[in-house]
Amino acid sequence: MARLTKRTVDAIKPTEGELVLWDDELPGFGLRAKSSGAKSFIVQYRNANGRSRRLTVGRYGVLTVEEARKAAKLALAEVVKGSDPAESRKLARGAMTIEELAAEYMDKAEKGLILTRKGEAKSSSTIYTDKGRVARHIVPLIGKRTVKDFTSSDAGRFQRDMIAGKSAADVKTKLRGRAIVTGGKGTASRTMGLLGGIFSYAVSEGYRPDNPINGIVRPKDGTREWRLDDAGYRRLGKCLAAAEAKGEHWQRIMASKAATLTGCRLDEIEGLLKTQVDAVGMALRLGDTKTGKSIRPVGSVVIALLKAASAKSKSKFVFPAITSEAKHHTGLTRWLQKVSAKDVPGITCHGLRHSFSSTAEDLGFSLPTIKALVGHARSSVTEGYIHKIDSALVSAADRIARHIDNSMTGRTDSEVVQLRTA
């Protein structure tokens, strides 16, 4: 402990985590310093119920030490009178804007404090998507509205505005990146789901008593599910063969084939590590997916492809970036759309995933089997099943991948057998 002065505050430079220094003149008054350089004045006290509370008075630089000391004395005086300044501030936050509420919600989500229905922290990919919906739809349309005054009627109007495309924009995301924001029923439905979660958080924090999104009927996404049939796979195979003949990078071609033959998500293919490929067990052992850890049984044609790809570099990734083996490949969907725009319009990695599932259904496999193969929530082969994978799943994955590969190459099953025995 030491008396907080400008000199002592400036001298504090924690190397990691955070450090709290208490003032020896005013009990309960202190400074919280983080390794990032941020410093804030705090007040620690016990309310009338004996519960320990901590209140942030203000940030150093915005407040001087003496200004913070005066504010701390006022807060502690409230405590003596029986008030709870932290609770009073929370109630006053009902006047916060929806933009401020969304920012607080996303900050908690990034720290793993917002849980999904499965009781798990949101994945990094979900957080990235949520941030985009907040920035491109919620903030532009309703960001300035106050949390306490937002009604169900306002929520309905917000949904209709999104469907009508009032949040449409052409957004620059990075040096060469763009996000074309169009709105529509699908966007409205998913964004309303996020907004409902944000207001549920507001209720749990005591910012308002109810969730205005409850009871709002969300629209169904009217877009048609895109998929490839056997003829479509053949056209895709020809596009990839043409790209290879033109000297396109092997990462793009082989990663595209891997996505097609496995039904994996885009980030699961692009970020696939060599250590995650179990050639003996005929599976991909993925450690950090949208649904957590899971094992994906794959076919022999997939294992052969991944072995060949792994041998092409010394990177830890199966498909390293073209410019640096220290990073994994990105931009696969954009490249696929470029090389197959004429013959396979509308192609995406999600479309390939849906096509894999549809092909599996065409071949007569059950829904639980298909869900296990593509890693759907609650249906993937989980860590508890890590040592042995059901041979029926491996057989299913092998048959589906072989069928798709045959469709892409134009081969028949008998021709494949002849090649293997030759």
Cβ burial, residue 190 (10 Å; 0-12/13-18/19+): middle
CA distance 414 to 33: 70
Over range 33-54, report the average pLDDT.
90
Q: What is the pLDDT of residues 328-352, one digit of tens each?
A: 999 999 999 999 989 999 898 889 9
CA distance 34 to 57: 16
Helix (H) or strand (E) holding 44: strand 39-46
Tokens of 17: 């985590």
CA distance 290 to 116: 11
Three-state secondary structure call for residue 40:
strand
Q: What is the pLDDT of residue 318?
A: 97
Residues counted in the chain = 422
Nearest Cα to Cα of residue 191 among 224, 165, 227? 165
Q: What is the pLDDT of residues 65-118, one digit of tens each?
A: 999 999 999 999 989 988 888 877 766 665 789 999 999 999 999 988 998 877
- In this structure, how many other beta carbons lie within 10 angstroms of the beta carbon of residue 218? 15
Complete domains list, the chain, with CATH = 6-92 (3.30.160.390), 96-204 (1.10.150.130), 230-421 (1.10.443.10)
334: left (phi over 0), alpha (psi -120 to 50) or beta: alpha
Query: With contact defined as beta carbons under 8 Å apart, do 181 and 166 qualify?
Result: no
pTM: 0.57
Helix (H) or strand (E) holding 287: strand 283-289
Tokens of 356: 């894999």
Q: What is the pLDDT of residues 245-293, one digit of tens each?
A: 999 999 999 999 999 999 999 999 999 999 999 999 999 998 766 556 7
26 to 7, 39, 77: CA distances (angstroms): 17, 18, 12
Cβ burial, residue 158 (10 Å; 0-12/13-18/19+): buried
CA distance 413 to 407: 10
- Please report, as a single letter, which amino acid is at residue 105: Y
Q: What is the pLDDT of residue 1?
A: 67
